[in-house]
Copies of this chain bind each other. A is one copy, B any other.
Amino acid sequence: MRTKDEGKESQILEAALRLITQTGLAGLKMADLAREAGVATGTVYIYFIDKTALISRLYIYLIRTAWRDLTSGVAASDPVRIQVQKIAHNYLTENIERPEIGAFFEQYYRSPFYTKADNILTEENTALQPIYDVIARGQAETVIKDVAPDLLVTLVCGMLNEAAKLSLYTGEAFTKADWEATFSVLWDGIKR
């Protein structure tokens, strides 16, 4: 017997991600997807019962496996400012290098495929947990403004998301100077 290739599922999902980045969910066609993934249309239906299931699976796949750990390089002994800097840098880099992820979520939440049933939002927040943690620590040490953490995280991520898009849209690299300016705005904005 031939066994189901575990890798083929993610091969299809990655192809879907690539296409969605280009033409949006509105432009995703199963035939195109099969071609992009290098399989026959029927094959897609061996791995996913239908298009909805495919998209939904992609959502979960991205939440679970796509994001690199934001705390990489962060030492517990680092002062808050340095931790924020490293995490923010990781976050920005990840968004610039894998823009598909942000692009997908942006699309998905407004698509007919998204239902509140996909309430793995809890899990999604897990990715942002390091940001919440460092902000909590900063507030405890009174080096970060005493503002509702949700709002603070929102503002910070908003800045970084948009900064990542800037470099994508202009096609120009995000320079060291850009990063320094960005972090300056970010830190001066949230510090006490």
Q: A187 → chain B, closest Cβ, in Å?
A: 8
Kindly report how many copies of this chain are found in the complex they form together: 2
- In Å, the complex CA distance between A155 and B16 comes to 30
The answer to whether B25 and A181 have CB atoms under 8 Å apart is no
- In Å, the complex CA distance between A27 and B23 comes to 14
The answer to whether A186 and B184 have CB atoms under 8 Å apart is no
Q: Which of B26, B148, B162, B166 contacts A26 (CB 8 A)?
A: B26
- In Å, the complex CA distance between A11 and B90 comes to 45
Interface size of A by Cβ–Cβ distance < 8 Å?
Answer: 42
- Residues on B with C-beta less than 8 A from A147 are 181, 184-185
- Residues on B with C-beta less than 8 A from A191 are 188
- In Å, the complex CA distance between A150 and B169 comes to 12
Q: Which of B20, B145, B148, B162 contacts A155 (CB 8 A)?
A: B162
Q: Which of B24, B152, B162, B166 contacts A111 (CB 8 A)?
A: B24
Interface code A148-173, partner B: CB below 8 Å = 1, 0 otherwise?
10111011011111110110000000
Cβ-based interface call for A190 (8 A) = yes
Cβ-based interface call for A103 (8 A) = yes
The answer to whether A112 and B155 have CB atoms under 8 Å apart is no
The answer to whether B181 and A151 have CB atoms under 8 Å apart is yes
Q: Which of B103, B148, B160, B181 contacts A158 (CB 8 A)?
A: B160
The answer to whether A163 and B151 have CB atoms under 8 Å apart is yes
Q: A27-B111, A185-B145 are in contact. Are A163 and B158 (CB under 8 A)?
A: yes
The answer to whether B184 and A111 have CB atoms under 8 Å apart is no
Q: A91 → chain B, closest Cβ, in Å?
A: 13
Closest residue on chain B to residue A112 by CB atoms: B27
The answer to whether B181 and A145 have CB atoms under 8 Å apart is yes
Interface code A106-146, partner B: CB below 8 Å = 1, 0 otherwise?
11001111000000000000000000000000000000010
- Residues on B with C-beta less than 8 A from A107 are 24, 26, 107, 110
